[in-house]
Every structure is written in C-alpha cells, then in structure tokens.
Amino acid sequence: MSARSQRPALDRFRLAAAVLVVCIHTGPLSSVSGVWDFWLCRVLARTAVPFFLMITGYFLVRSEWKSTGRFLKKTALTYLAAVALYLPLNLYNGGYGLLEWIQKILAEGTLYHLWYFPAVILGVFIAWGLSKLGQPVVLIIAALLYLIGLGGDSYYGLISSLPGPAAFYQAVFAVFGYTRNGVFLAPLFLLLGGLGRWWSKSASLAGFGASIALMTAEGFLLRSLGWQRHDSMYLALPLCMLFLFSLLLGQNAGEDKRARRVSLLIYLLHPWSIVLVRGGAKVVRLEALLVENSVVHFFAVLALTLGMALVLDAVRPIRPSPTSRAWKEIDLDALRHNAETLQSRLSPGCELMAVVKADGYGHGAAAVARSLQKSGVNAFAVATMSEGISLRKAGVRGTILVLGYTPAEGIPLLRRWRLVQTVADEAHGRALDAAGRLLRVHIAVDTGMHRLGAPAEDIDALSRLWALKNLKIEGMFSHLCVSDRLDREALDYTHAQLDRFYGTADTLRKRGLAPGKLHIQASYGILNLPAQPCAYARAGIALYGVGSESAAVALEAGLRPVLSLRANVACVRELSPGEGAGYGLTFRANRHTRLAVLSIGYADGLPRELAQNGGRVLLHGQSCPMVGRMCMDQLFVDVTDVSSVRPSDTATLIGRNGELTIRAEEVSRRCGTITNELLSRLGPRLGQAAR
Ligand SMILES: *Cc1c(COP(=O)(O)O)cnc(C)c1O
C-alpha cells in the first residue's frame, strides 16, 4: 500500500484529543471569556477521554479481547512510570499516607490527570467481563452504570437532596473522589468503541453537529441550575461520541504509530509543563504574560509539552521491527487447535507432552510452551538441558523432560531448574547415581530403534537401575522408528516394539519395581495407532500442524499449520532478453523479465537448493518461481507476470496468501528433506511475529 492511500484518522485524532486534555488543565480562554472557556473545556474537551476509551475498546474487541492481557500489562507499566514521574510533585505537595497511596494508585491516580489509568484498567476488566453476556444486555448494563455515574457528576444537584442516593454517592466519593471512573464512565465507552459502528461521512458529521449542540445546551443548562458537582459526564456525550468515532472510523486507513506515542507523551507530560511554565515565569518575572494571559499560557504549556514529547520520542530506544526483512509468523490459535485435536485422540488419563526441542521446531519454544500451558498442557519435552533451563526462565511450569543425554556434571543444574532427565542406558544411570544427589529421571527403553535406551529384553540390567538410590524413577518410555508407515512390515515392527515395551513394564511390575509413567507415541504414533494405555504421548511435528509428504497417516486429523514464512521485496529490476542474474549468472532471461529480489537467503535457514528445485513464493496472491542461485541473504523471484509487485511488498515462502498456500511439506519435498529438518533449521536471524 502506498503512503498516500493511508489516512490514519484514528491515530491522528489522538493528538487532537491530547491537546483537548491540555485545554482542560490550562483553561486557554479563561482570561478572555468565561462562557467560551466553559464551552471549550467543560463541553467540547469532554470528548477527549471517551475517545481514548473508545479506541481502546475498538482494538480490544477487534482482537476478540485476545490482546487484553498485553494491553493491561503495558498500561499498568506506563501508569507506574507516570506515578514515578510525578513523585517529586506529590512529595512537594506533602505526599500521602500509605493507605492513601494505595487508594490513589488503585482508584484515583496520584496526580489529577492520572485518574485515567486506573479507570481504563478497571473499565477494561468490567467491560471484558460484561462482554460475555452478549448484546444488548452488556450495553444496557454499561448504560445503567453510566446513568448512575451521571448522578454523581453533572446531575449531582438533582440527586443530592435525596438521602438514599446521597449516602450512596458519598460512599463512592470516599473511594474514587468522582464517579467519572472505571466503574461508571469507562465500560460504556469501551463497549461503544468495540461496536466499531460507522455511518456515511455526511450522516456522521450531521449527527456530531446535532449532538454537540445538544450537549452544549445541556452543559449550559446544568451550569445555570448549579447542579454540576463535576462536568465530565453528560447525557448527550455517548451520542456525541458515537458520531465522532463513526466520522473517524469511516476515514481511517492504516496507522500512525508516532502520533500514538506523541499523544501519549503530551498526555503524560503536560502537568510538568504547567509547573515549569509557572516556575519559569516567576523566575523571569513574566507572570502577567505567561500565566495570567490564559491564551499565552496555554500555548506556552503546549509548546513546551510538544517540545519535550518530540525530544523524548526521538531519543527513545528503537528496536528493529520483526517484519522489516524476513520473518516467521506464528498462529497460536492453530497451535492450540492442534493440541486439542491431538489430546482428543488419547485415552482418558493420557496427557499430551508437547515436544518443544530445537526452539519449538523453529516456532519459538518459549512462546509455544507458554501458549500451550495456558490451554492446559502441563508436560513438555526438550532435547537438551539448556533448552529446559530456557523454558523455566521463560516462566514455564509443569514437567519438563530432557530427552537427550546429559552428563553427570549437569545434575546441579537439572535439580536447580527441576528438570526430569532421561536415563540413556545402564552406564548412564550408574554415572548419574554416582554423583550422590537425588535426581528425577525417566528410563529410556530400546524396543528396536537402537538409539537411546537400555535394551528392553535385558530385564536384569533394567532392574539394576531401580536399585540405584539416587535415581528417582518417575517414568519409562520408548520411541517408535517406523510408525510413519502403514505397510505390513512396518506395522508388524511397530507392534513388536509396543509388545516389548508393555511386556518389559509388566515384568518389572511383577518384580515389584514401579515403571512410573509410560509413554511411547510421538506424532505418527498418535496419528496412526489406537489410543495407548500410557500416561503421556509426546507430540512434536503434528503439534505444529505439518507432516511430511512421504509419511502415511491413517486418518485425516484436521491439523492446521502454525508457521508462515514471509520476506519483503528489496527491489525489482528489469532484465533484457539474454541478460543473466546472480552468482554464476545461472539465470538467463529469455524474454523481457522483471526480477524481484527478496530479503531472505540460505543463512536464514532456507535450503540453498530450493531455488533450483522449483521453489516458489506467493506475491499478491499469485505464485512466482524462484530463479538463479539462492544467495546467503537474498534470492531472486521472476515476477514478470505479476506487474503490480513493488519494493517492500511481502512475499510468502510458507503459508497462505490470498487463495493460495505453500505448505512446508512442499518445500521439504523439493529439497529432499522432511518438515522437521526444514522448520528446526529456520535461523535465529528471522524476525518473529505473532498472528
Ligand atoms: C523428537 C522426539 C519426539 C517428537 O517427535 P515427532 O515425530 O516430531 O512428534 C518424541 N520423542 C522423542 C524421543 C524425540 O526425540
């Protein structure tokens, strides 16, 4: 999309809304006209905070509330930073007692403008909780809360003479100070924003004009009646906001992140500017101009605030965007769907153990494990101790089994991070035991793959492991080596492996030795075998929704690919017939050719031979062939037939684009490998974006 077609109306209006908030706190027209100042600050500017609430609700609802956790965390951190920023002012003003600090932080904000943060946090909790009730119930409840809020705000004079309501509002004011808070004000606007409704531009403009006129009349009437305890909430305000938001939403295209950041900074910093302008005016003896003239005062505050905001924005630490070059996109919904699908194929009592070795098969082990943990998976397997430690550091709880060999030196770390170690054979078991520290282990049993594991038939050797005092044996497992085939010979071999495994477990039990939790299926074992009498099934590749074109799967499982791989177009160039491109000039144009150069190469983990073996990418929903030799950091694509391709367009190497899809299975086949290898080799240089 070109820059010109973008009109990020919502983000740009944040700037206007932030300036309106500055108006409220400076009263730009107060020394000119009381009436106009009232209209500007107490009527018009009252649209600012509801706008911020609506845009928050709009984005949270659009993400189906999935980004709520991230939003709350970010908002809480910003709030704490703001509290710290204004600590000097608070202390200068005498500070608060401990209980008062807690009440201020949780309910009212610690300086006048900071009430917004606890309000939006509480409001989001309430709106999110209510949203489960469905419409229109949720809107009715939020509107009722708003009406109650009105009674403590602009309409207080009407209500306060009645003893019952007066007592109620006194109780509210003891906690919040005002009713324009997270309970009475925020939920309605969050939910109205969430509706995302818009009408035509002219209808929105007319509606906004009419409703702001209505609100003006309402404001002045209430002012003349002397009913207002505060003037944040009007009956006409929600109507006004629906039209204003509709007007902006109808014009909105794209986003302006800088406007977002700067508007937040204006909001956060302006009270400091007010203090600095007043202090500065005193020092240079220009109070008559800079403070008493409200118009000059407002512009001085605004200029200083804007200056500070722009400087802070310019010096902020900038992290490269994950999608600026080549990146993986992880669909956590698909991951959870796959986990549920696989779990549903297991016998009751058998748990899915998610295999997240090799950085979760290239999907990002920490993100994968954390997401699965949230949907109830409690056991994880990794190949190495370091991988297990990384998971713990990322906050993963539950069982973590190290499937590979770890020498006895690793025992202190295995214990420190509560990892369960695989015992690879009798010698390994003895070495681990000799270290003299109790260690949680699973015993690997070799039933025919001849990789790790003590031989299943050597019961005496196995029994000796149970005699080792420092091994706390919690489980026993084996691995199938031909479960991805359905021919007679392979099936016989798999069943022989299963028989050996369960036979060994039985014999051990007869000897009074508890084998603990049993597990033998990996992905193809889950897909091709009936449910097994085990405690775990270890799913790797199937969890990520891919298989391999050569593997046989008995039943279509409905698994969804989790990973997409994308890269940007760096440049597009024209070649005349006969011209060559790339190392060795192995590509020769046989017609007038447009070549797109993509910012991804074999150093990102793509197999180098893919370009020669019919590799392709999707651009603008069409398939384009790779040509020439793949470079370390770039590759060539022939886009002669897709004339719309431009630099910075996004190409899809794995995943969906429009109607077309390139599957990881296809890419692996072209390179004579399997998806496990392809995905686990995707390099650390790739960015990572959640979908
Ligand atoms: C890698 C591995 C798995 C997972 O295999 P998938 O085929 O990817 O499901 C399971 N068990 C062991 C021992 C492994 O090494």
Distance 403 CA to ligand 1 centre (A): 9
Residue with CA closest to ligand 1 atom 15: 403
* 3-state SS assignment for residue 194: helix
pLDDT band at 120 (very low <50, low <70, confident <90, very high): very high
**What pLDDT is attached to residue 432?**
98
Other residues' Cβ atoms within 10 Å of the Cβ of residue 212: 20
Q: Which atom of ligand 1 is nearest to the CA of 524?
A: 7
Each residue's pLDDT tens digit, 253-283: 888 999 999 999 999 999 999 999 999 999 9
Separation of CA 20 from chain center? 31
Burial code (b: 16+ CB inside 10 Å, e: under 16) for 576-599 equals eeeeebbeeeebebeeebbbbbbb
The answer to whether 7 and 252 have CB atoms below 8 angstroms apart is yes
With 0-12 CB in 10 A as exposed, 13-18 as middle and 19+ as buried, what is 641?
Answer: exposed
- Alpha carbon distance 344, 638 (integer Å): 44
pLDDT band at 539 (very low <50, low <70, confident <90, very high): very high
The residue with greater pLDDT, 63 or 532, is: 532
Q: Mean pLDDT across the stretch 495-520?
A: 98
Residue 520: both structure tokens together: 């033998």
Each residue's pLDDT tens digit, 640-667: 999 999 999 999 999 999 999 999 999 9
Angle at 126 between CA 122 and CA 129, to 5 degrees: 140
Select from 342, 355, 384, 528 the residue to mutate for testing ligand 1; criterion: most ligand atoms less than 8 Å from CB: 355
Q: Is the pLDDT reported for residue 2 higher than 50?
A: no
Angle at 659 between CA 654 and CA 664, to 5 degrees: 20
Residue 423: both structure tokens together: 């015992």
Task: Collect all residues with Cβ–Cβ distance below 8 Å to 213 and sequence separation of at least 6.
Answer: none
- Alpha carbon distance 292, 285 (integer Å): 12
Q: Mean pLDDT across the stretch 607-621?
A: 97
Dihedral, 161, 164, 168, 169 alpha carbons, nearest 10: -10
**What pLDDT is attached to residue 6?**
67
**What pLDDT is attached to residue 548?**
72
- For residue 541 and ligand 1, the question of a CB distance below 6 A is answered with yes
pLDDT above 90 covers what percent of the chain?
A: 90
pLDDT band at 73 (very low <50, low <70, confident <90, very high): very high
Q: Is the pLDDT reported for residue 550 higher than 80?
A: no
Q: Mean pLDDT across the stretch 486-513?
A: 97
Each residue's pLDDT tens digit, 219-246: 999 999 999 999 999 999 999 999 999 9
Distance 163 CA to ligand 1 centre (A): 71
* 3-state SS assignment for residue 238: helix
**What pLDDT is attached to residue 161?**
84
Q: Mean pLDDT across the stretch 372-392?
A: 97
Distance 428 CA to ligand 1 centre (A): 21
Structure-token match 């669909």, residue found: 331
Residue with CA closest to ligand 1 atom 4: 540
Beta bridge partners of 616: 625
Element (H, E) at 203: helix 201-225
> Which own/partner contact pairs does 373-378 have at CB distance under 8 Å and 24+ positions apart?
373/397, 373/398, 375/336, 375/339, 375/340, 377/339, 377/351, 377/352, 378/351
Task: Kindly give the interhelix angle for 116-131 and 186-195, rounded to the nearest 10 degrees.
Answer: 60
**What pLDDT is attached to residue 569?**
97
User: Phi first, then psi: what are they for 445, rounded to 5°?
Assistant: -120, 130
The answer to whether 55 and 189 have CB atoms below 8 angstroms apart is no
Task: Collect all residues with Cβ–Cβ distance below 8 Å to 677 and sequence separation of at least 6.
Answer: 668
- Alpha carbon distance 678, 492 (integer Å): 30
Each residue's pLDDT tens digit, 89-118: 999 988 889 999 999 999 989 898 999 999
Q: Is the pLDDT reported for residue 681 higher than 60?
A: yes
Q: Mean pLDDT across the stretch 675-687?
A: 94
For residue 55, the number of C-alpha atoms closer than 13 Å in the C-beta half-sphere is 20
Structure-token match 């009007």, residue found: 234
pLDDT band at 690 (very low <50, low <70, confident <90, very high): confident
Of the candidates 498, 623, 483, the residue with the CA atom closest to the CA atom of residue 540: 483
- Alpha carbon distance 380, 157 (integer Å): 62
- Is 112 a residue of the active site? no
**What pLDDT is attached to residue 253?**
84
- Alpha carbon distance 630, 648 (integer Å): 19
* 3-state SS assignment for residue 37: helix
Q: Which atom of ligand 1 is nearest to the CA of 523?
A: 9
pLDDT band at 162 (very low <50, low <70, confident <90, very high): confident
- What's the chain's average pLDDT? 95
- Per the document, the length of the chain is 691
Decide the pairing of beta strands 471-477 and 517-519. Answer: parallel
- For residue 540 and ligand 1, the question of a CB distance below 6 A is answered with yes
Q: Is the pLDDT reported for residue 152 higher than 70?
A: yes
Residue with CA closest to ligand 1 atom 14: 403
Q: Mean pLDDT across the stretch 335-346?
A: 96
Distance 541 CA to ligand 1 centre (A): 8
Residue 355: both structure tokens together: 């295999």
Which of 178, 357, 361, 493 is an active site residue?
357
Element (H, E) at 422: strand 420-423
The answer to whether 542 and 674 have CB atoms below 8 angstroms apart is no
- For residue 442 and ligand 1, the question of a CB distance below 6 A is answered with no
Q: Is the peptide bond before 136 cis (omega within 30 degrees of 0)?
A: yes
Alpha-helical (H) ranges within 537-670 are 664-670
Q: How many helices (H) and strands (E) does the chain have?
A: 27, 20
Q: Is the pLDDT reported for residue 144 higher than 90?
A: yes
Q: Is the pLDDT reported for residue 552 higher than 70?
A: no
The one-letter code for the residue type at 117 is F
Q: Is the pLDDT reported for residue 595 higher than 50?
A: yes
Element (H, E) at 655: strand 650-657
Q: Which atom of ligand 1 is nearest to the CA of 539?
A: 9
- Alpha carbon distance 539, 355 (integer Å): 6
The answer to whether 17 and 48 have CB atoms below 8 angstroms apart is yes
**What pLDDT is attached to residue 138?**
95
Distance 4 CA to ligand 1 centre (A): 50
- For residue 479 and ligand 1, the question of a CB distance below 6 A is answered with yes
Element (H, E) at 270: helix 257-283
Structure-token match 């019961």, residue found: 459
Q: Is the pLDDT reported for residue 151 higher than 60?
A: yes
Angle at 387 between CA 384 and CA 391, to 5 degrees: 145
**What pLDDT is attached to residue 553?**
66
Whole-angstrom CA distances from 218 to 44, 154, 215, 222, 224 are 12, 10, 5, 6, 10
Q: Mean pLDDT across the stretch 22-32?
A: 96
Structure-token match 């080799």, residue found: 681
* Three-state SS sequence of 441-487: EEEEEECCCCCCCEECCCHHHHHHHHCCCCEEEEEEECCCCCCCCCC
**What pLDDT is attached to residue 4?**
42
Q: Mean pLDDT across the stretch 498-520?
A: 98
- Alpha carbon distance 611, 549 (integer Å): 19
Burial code (b: 16+ CB inside 10 Å, e: under 16) for 519-548 equals bbbbbbbbbbbeebebbbbbbbbbbbbbbb
Q: Mean pLDDT across the stretch 672-680?
A: 94
- Is 74 a residue of the active site? no
Each residue's pLDDT tens digit, 431-449: 999 999 999 999 999 999 9
Distance 41 CA to ligand 1 centre (A): 65
- Look up residue 292 and give its DSSP letter: I
Each residue's pLDDT tens digit, 622-634: 999 999 999 999 9
Residue 609: both structure tokens together: 């031979």
Beta bridge partners of 571: 597
**What pLDDT is attached to residue 555?**
52
